[in-house]
Amino acid sequence: MNQIALPLAWPADEQGDFLVVESNARAVRMLEHWATWPVRTAVLAGPPQSGRSLLGRIFAARSGATVIDDADRTEEDALFHAWNRAQEERRPLLLIAAALPPTWNVALPDLRSRLSASPSAEIGAPEDVLVAALYERGFARRHLDARADLITWLTARTERSHAAVMETIDRLDRAALAGRRRLTIPLARETLEGARTASNRSEAPS
CATH number assigned to the domain with residue range 12-122, chosen from the 4 options 2.130.10.10, 3.40.50.300, 3.30.460.40, 3.40.50.720: 3.40.50.300
For 80-113, give one letter per residue: b (16+ CB within 10 A) or e. bebbbebeeeeebbbbbbbebbeebebeeeebbe
What pTM value is reported for the model? Answer: 0.83
Bigger pLDDT: 106 or 194? 106
Q: What is the pLDDT of residue 12?
A: 43
Give the 3-state secondary structure of residue 75: coil
Segment 121-179, tens digit of pLDDT: 999 999 999 999 999 999 999 999 999 999 999 999 999 999 999 999 999 999 999 98
Q: What is the pLDDT of residue 35?
A: 95
The model's confidence at residue 200, banded by pLDDT at 50, 70 and 90, is low
The model's confidence at residue 4, banded by pLDDT at 50, 70 and 90, is very low
Segment 77-127, tens digit of pLDDT: 999 999 999 999 999 999 999 999 999 999 999 999 999 999 999 999 999
CA 36 to chain centre: 24
Average pLDDT value for residue range 46-64: 93
Q: Where are the domains of the chain?
A: 12-122, 128-203
pLDDT at 1 > cutoff 80: no
For 2-15, give one letter per residue: b (16+ CB within 10 A) or e. eeeebeeebeeebb
Range with lowest mean pLDDT among 20-24, 86-90, 129-133, 192-196: 192-196
Are 144 and 168 within 8 A, CB to CB?
A: no
Bigger pLDDT: 93 or 9? 93
Is the CATH code 1.10.510 the one for domain 128-203? no
